[in-house]
Amino acid sequence: MSAPKINTAQFLKDLADLRQIGLQPDGAVHRVAYSEADLAGRRWLNNRMRQLGLMPQEDAAGNTTAIYAGRQKLPAIGIGSHTDTVPYGGAYDGALGMIAALAVIEALQTANVRLNHPVELINFAAEEATMAGGTTGSQAMTGLFNLATLDKAAWDGQPVRTHMRNAGLDPDAINTAKRQVGDLAAFLELHIEQSDRLLTANRDIAIVDGFVGIRRYAVRFNGVANHAGTTPMNRREDALVMASPLIRIVRDLAVELGIVATIGDFNVYPGAPNVIPERVDLIIETRGLVSDVLDQAADLLQAEVVQLGGVMSPVVEKPPVKTAVAIQTALANACAQQGLSTLTMPSGAGHDAMNMSRLCSQGMFFVPSQGGISHSKEEYTTPADCINGAQVLLSTVLLLDNTLSVA
């Protein structure tokens, strides 16, 4: 019995073959969730699983799973990601983690190795935020999916339930995809970084220590509409003038507190060039890994908004999610075995692994994305970095199999 190794040639071929499904003439990859291209990509992956002797199963959300049996009756170690894309996106977001997970199973099978734990491949459905929000499949699997989302507009304006029906799924049954705590021993996901911290630091692998919490606040400033040509400047109540200092305040506050913050939704009413703005509505978003810091940011922003004459109210609050320390340690040890340099960082984006914390211990790691580009046809990760990711995934699974509690 030989030690399992990634078949790098087959791994890179699989990654290239999946890219062909939904490939556009300009190089973009268009496999939006529940579309025919998405279903074709899932069928292709299912066929590859069957070639490895696996039996893929689909749940009510469209998630696909397959089990590589272990030696003992233990909960499985889950590995995987997703194969859907944003509209006209790239070839690595999600796909890399899913193809690397497939390569891990092939490595174990080729070496005739059975672990103590089963290993479960999971191809999540609708991870990208095209179905009125992201991580649809993992939300359904973990009991987080809100049925009201089914009647919201997807990326093309159609209701989410229409997309699911067109894919042969019963949208009203989506929450039957929920699994129980203890079904999995752990979940591990490989992904491209979607930023440039690894490249800037000249490191090979980023170990994710958590997923940032997200807060959003609706802010309104009320002024008085009047004729823009006849109203003297000293008698105007211009809502846009009231709101404008907040743009810089939000930016400076984020820098000071070590978080990120954005005003990406900004509307001026009535929106005519010859009318003084009577109202401004905007959304502030803050993201950070420490709840206390996000609380501090909220208090400071509230005070600034009031001082400027506005009103602020919360509209979204998603708490930070930490990754399991034991999995972070296993990842660090796996990288050391491979001679790869590391850094530790939070994920500023949401991923399926974040939701899986509801079911089991979970972890995530990144490989570099050239230029920090993602969700774009320009998205690119070098073959060497892809291979590093697959090898670390395999090594970490082997380490976790020996260290996870069997209780």
Structure tokens at 107: 């490595």
Cβ atoms < 10 Å from Cβ of 277: 26
Residue 405 pLDDT more than 90?
no
Calculate mean pLDDT across residues 164-180: 97
Is residue 253 classed as helix, strand or coil in its secondary structure?
helix
Calculate mean pLDDT across residues 180-190: 96
Domain 213-318 - what CATH class? alpha beta
Strand partners, 267: 281
Distance CA 88, CA 66 (A): 28
- DSSP letter string over 112-173? T---SS-EEEEEES--STTSSSS-HHHHHHHT---GGGGGSB-TTSSBHHHHHHHTT--GGG
Q: Is the previous residue joined to 270 through a cis bond, with omega within 30 degrees of 0? A: yes
Q: Does residue 304 contact residue 243 with C-beta atoms inside 8 Å?
A: no
Residue 96 pLDDT more than 70?
yes
pTM: 0.89
Calculate mean pLDDT across residues 276-298: 96
- The number of helices, as runs of H, and strands, as runs of E, in the chain is 12, 13
Q: How confident is the model at residue 220 (pLDDT cuts 50, 70, 90)?
A: very high
What pLDDT score does 407 carry?
41
Distance CA 205, CA 87 (A): 27
Measure the CA dihedral 92/95/100/102, to 10°. -160
Element (H, E) at 396: helix 383-403
What pLDDT score does 349 carry?
86
Q: Does residue 355 contact residue 141 with C-beta atoms inside 8 Å?
A: yes
Place of tokens 């809100």: 146
Place of tokens 């889950």: 78
Q: pLDDT per residue over 303-328, tens digit each?
A: 999 999 999 999 989 899 999 999 99
Distance CA 68, CA 80 (A): 13
What pLDDT score does 232 carry?
97
Residue 27 pLDDT more than 70?
yes
Residue 406 pLDDT more than 80?
no
Q: What is the mean pLDDT of the chain?
A: 96
Q: Is 8-211+320-403's fold the same as 213-318's?
A: no
The percent helix, strand, coil of the chain (3-state, each to 5) is: 40, 25, 40
**Taking every pair of C-alpha atoms in the chain, what is the biggest distance, in angstroms?**
88
Q: pLDDT per residue over 107-128, tens digit each?
A: 999 999 999 999 999 999 999 9
What pLDDT score does 1 carry?
60
Q: pLDDT per residue over 355-366, tens digit each?
A: 999 999 999 999
The residues spanned by each domain of the chain are 8-211+320-403, 213-318
Q: How confident is the model at residue 208 (pLDDT cuts 50, 70, 90)?
A: very high
Q: pLDDT per residue over 251-279, tens digit each?
A: 999 999 999 999 999 999 999 999 999 99
CA atoms within 13 A on the CB side of 97: 31
Instruction: Provide the percentage of residues in the chain whose pLDDT is more than 70.
Output: 99
Q: In terms of residues, how long is the chain? A: 407
Cα of 313 vs its chain's centroid, Å: 26
Distance CA 301, CA 364 (A): 32
Element (H, E) at 236: none
Cβ atoms < 10 Å from Cβ of 324: 18
Q: What is the C-alpha end-to-end distance of the chain, expressed in Å?
A: 29
Structure tokens at 307: 């001082």
Distance CA 37, CA 85 (A): 10
CATH architecture of 8-211+320-403: 3-Layer(aba) Sandwich (3.40)
Q: How confident is the model at residue 2 (pLDDT cuts 50, 70, 90)?
A: confident
Q: Does residue 98 contact residue 80 with C-beta atoms inside 8 Å?
A: yes
